[in-house]
Amino acid sequence: MRKYVFIIFSLFALNISAASVIRQAKEALKKKQNLEQTAKNLLAEAAKEETSHDDRVECYVLAAECSQKLYEAQNLKLYLKQKYDTVAFYSNILDIFRRLEKADSIEEWPDEKGRVRLKNRKSSRDVLLPFRPNLLNGGKWFFRKNQMKEAFNYLDEYVRNGSHPIFERDKLLQNDTLMPSTAYLAVVAANSSQNADGVIRNAPLAMKAGQKNYLIQEYLSRAFKAKSDTTKWLSSLYDGLRDYTFHGYFFSHLVDYYLDCQNTDRALEITDSVISVADTVPLFWYGRSLVLLKQGRDREAIDACDSCLYFSPDHVDALYNKGVASLNLAVIYAEQACNDPTNPQCIRDQEIIRSLYNLAKLPMERVRALEPDKPQRWAPPLYRIYLNLNMGKQFDEIDQILHKQ
């Protein structure tokens, strides 16, 4: 009997605890005092497992009222042209949305008696709808401040509550023309703050804004990569290459992926497919030269480099590839050349070898001129070139550079 009395007393005490917090909150709201701490107490009570269904709902509703009172205090200062806290002004709006949405989500679940009563949905809608413009203004304010993580919270909330049951009758997804452009800003903010889920969630609607869709597609690809979803990442790269061929991100990452997988045939297919529709883009020719180098097709790689350099004479990576391919040809030819000085073929072979080293020399020296701060890139090939061309002065200079590395 004592055991049952204790249990009944405990349950009664728990109810008293929630009732006490709720009562104190109502008093604080009436007096407009200690509202921040009151909201914390309400949220802490709502988080307890033993708090009843209805009390949990009321805690969130009252916490939202605390935020509303705090917002009104800042808004009054703004109206009177007094100094006010901009961050608090906007953060209280965000809290109102999140707390009333939380209350609504709890109400959607059956209570202890199996009942579903949405008694706060209409009043929540009436409270929240006028705040939506300032919710968006808050996102834009943080966006301009380059506080992208905070900006995303507001922009994402604006987009997400457009489909919330609270606003079902308002059909915001159809009627609010600002939704796509807000989703676009949300994607940019999410990408800047490394929020992959935020990018993925907002990208489809952001595409409808028609603002730099190639960037939205790129951010979507980055998001899938960040989540290690290789299937969706590759699919997004192919979609991007198809729809935004001239945006080099998709081409570069697809080629790099297949090169990393040692699938040079597929990489070459991609380069050939884009060149067939856009043969004036230096990046595509450079990509082709890179793949051909991997396949050991040095002469074809040189031709691809020349095509790239025709459209972009100082494309440093194409210059480097041309130098490397020419150097490869010189080394290979030297290995097969005649070594008999009495044979006339030996002289001809040496002339060919010298011409190949000279062919490597010009682009590699240009690489050095364009990237003087990267000797680890151009110094080793120039060392070999100058050695084989008997260019003593230049060889000594490169030798000293290499010894400093």
Per-residue pLDDT at 4: 43
356-380 pLDDT per residue, tens: 999 999 999 999 999 999 999 999 9
Q: Is the pLDDT of residue 303 over 90?
A: yes
Per-residue pLDDT at 15: 54
Amino acid at 113: K
Per-residue pLDDT at 404: 84
Q: Is the pLDDT of residue 14 over 80?
A: no
Residue 360 · residue 346 · CB < 8 Å: no
Do residues 96 and 178 both lie within one domain? no
219 burial type by CB count under 10 A (0-12 exposed, 13-18 middle, 19+ buried): buried
Least confident of 13-17, 73-77, 140-144, 395-399: 13-17
Residue 241 · residue 233 · CB < 8 Å: no
The pLDDT of 314-332, averaged and rounded, is 97
The dihedral built from the CA positions of residue 44, 50, 55 and 58, taken in this order, carries a sign that is: positive
Q: Is residue 200 part of a domain?
A: yes
Q: Is the pLDDT of residue 5 over 60?
A: no
Per-residue pLDDT at 342: 76
Q: Is the pLDDT of residue 160 over 70?
A: yes
Per-residue pLDDT at 341: 76
The CA distance from 257 to 264, in Å, is 10
278-298 pLDDT per residue, tens: 999 999 999 999 999 999 999
Do residues 53 and 95 both lie within one domain? yes
97-126 pLDDT per residue, tens: 999 999 999 999 887 888 888 899 999 999
Q: Is the pLDDT of residue 13 over 60?
A: no
135-144 pLDDT per residue, tens: 999 999 999 9
Do residues 167 and 94 both lie within one domain? no
Q: Is the pLDDT of residue 181 over 90?
A: yes
Q: Is the pLDDT of residue 167 over 60?
A: yes
Q: 3: pLDDT confidence band, cut at 50, 70 and 90?
A: very low
Token readout for 28 is: 């604080």
The last residue of a domain, from among 211, 241, 264: 211
Q: What is the average pLDDT value for the chain, to the nearest integer?
A: 93
259-276 pLDDT per residue, tens: 999 999 999 999 999 999
Q: How many residues does the chain have?
A: 405
DSSP code string of 117-131: --TTHHHHHHHHGGG
Q: 343: pLDDT confidence band, cut at 50, 70 and 90?
A: confident
Q: 16: pLDDT confidence band, cut at 50, 70 and 90?
A: low
The last residue of a domain, from among 109, 140, 167: 109
The pLDDT of 141-168, averaged and rounded, is 97
The pLDDT of 137-165, averaged and rounded, is 97
Q: 23: pLDDT confidence band, cut at 50, 70 and 90?
A: very high
Provide CB contacts within 8 A for 304, sequence distance 6+. Answer: 285, 286, 288, 289, 292
- Count: domains in the chain: 2
Do residues 31 and 97 both lie within one domain? yes
The pLDDT of 79-84, averaged and rounded, is 89
The pLDDT of 332-349, averaged and rounded, is 84
Do residues 31 and 101 both lie within one domain? yes
Q: Is residue 140 part of a domain?
A: yes
Least confident of 318-327, 335-344, 392-401: 335-344
Q: Is residue 230 part of a domain?
A: no
The last residue of a domain, from among 211, 227, 242: 211
Q: Is residue 344 part of a domain?
A: no
Q: Is residue 289 part of a domain?
A: no
The CA distance from 237 to 2, in Å, is 69
Q: Is the pLDDT of residue 83 over 60?
A: yes
Do residues 162 and 97 both lie within one domain? no
Per-residue pLDDT at 326: 97
Q: Is residue 204 part of a domain?
A: yes
DSSP code string of 111-167: -TTS----TTHHHHHHHHGGGHHHHHHHHHHHHHTT-HHHHHHHHHHHHHGGGSGGG
Q: Is residue 334 part of a domain?
A: no
Q: Is residue 3 part of a domain?
A: no
214-235 pLDDT per residue, tens: 999 999 999 999 999 999 999 9
Share of the chain above pLDDT 70, in %: 96
The CA distance from 207 to 236, in Å, is 14
Q: By residue range, what is the domain housing residue 157?
A: 132-211
